[in-house]
Amino acid sequence: MVAASLKELDRRIRSVKNTQQITRAMKMVAAAKLRRAQDKLIAARPYGGKLEELLDGLTGTQIDHPLFEERNLRRRFVVVISSDKGLCGSYNAGVLRQTEDWLKAHDDDGVENVIYVVGRKANDFFKRRQWKVETVIDDLGGVIDVPRFNQIADDLMHRFLKDEVQEIRIFYTRFVSTLRYEPTHATLLPLKPAESDGGATAPVRKSVDFLYEPSAEAVLAALLPKSIRNRVFNAIAEAATSEHGARMTSMGAATENAGKMIDSLTLFRNRARQSAITQEISEIVGGANALA
């Protein structure tokens, strides 16, 4: 009976050790991905800041462009960015809960909300709750892929310019630090005059008089699509960085908890073994005394 109990404890200890090896490896992989994502995010901020600075000067001149036009189509895209995989703590829960709360609050404003999903977890979440999901992109895998992000931005701009929707809102998780990330949302389209969003740490704008060639209108037409691409890049890159940080933290905690469980099971096993040895000695002594 005791031997069977010891074997079961040995089996459980081996199982937890195997799990600990997996979580430790996942933590290391997430840490490496986090560093790469942070580097790309930080490297892109000067570009985004300068781009928005130029646009601030241009939009202040009251130049008309279709991306600024207010529409009354009674249809809105709600873009939600989540992860494709789990094991990243409360990362997905935060942005999905915020999105659903916003959808419920705006469910009776006379505008149809259509969900545009980036990430498998968001797709699963909203389909279970019977929300209308029109577009699903679930092949990013937490990788910061600029050409792929540009395709998403171009698709959103194309649908807006084709008058499919009157507004596009984007929900994502903003990266603050490895241990902190915040669900947030913003209007992607239509643009607002002198609106800027060069990233989470966009610099303060300075008033500068520019000379535009060939014309301010031509420069604006060239820069606006780049601005939308940059904003989509920032949102998805911030979300991906937050995902890797959350996964690293989650797997670190899982590894630590596995270590505590191994210590507890090992202590319990040693006590059981000690009890079994004591019992065997007592039986031997008792048998010897009976023969004496």
The answer to whether residue 88 is catalytic is yes
Question: Percentage helix, strand, coil, to 5, in the chain?
Answer: 60, 15, 25
Beta bridge partners of 137: 118
Identify the active-site residue in 44, 79, 81, 88: 88
Residue 211, classed as helix, strand or coil, is coil
Place of tokens 């004496």: 292
**DSSP designation for 182:** E
Q: Where are the alpha helices (DSSP H) in the chain?
A: 2-59, 91-105, 120-128, 146-161, 216-291
**Closest residue by Cα to residue 265 from 54, 10, 32:** 10
Place of tokens 């959808």: 103
Give dist(CA 273, CA 280) in Å, integer. Answer: 11
Beta bridge partners of 118: 81, 137
Half-sphere exposure at residue 280, Cβ-oriented, CA atoms within 13 angstroms: 9
Give dist(CA 16, CA 19) in Å, integer. Answer: 5
**What residues are annotated to the active site?**
88
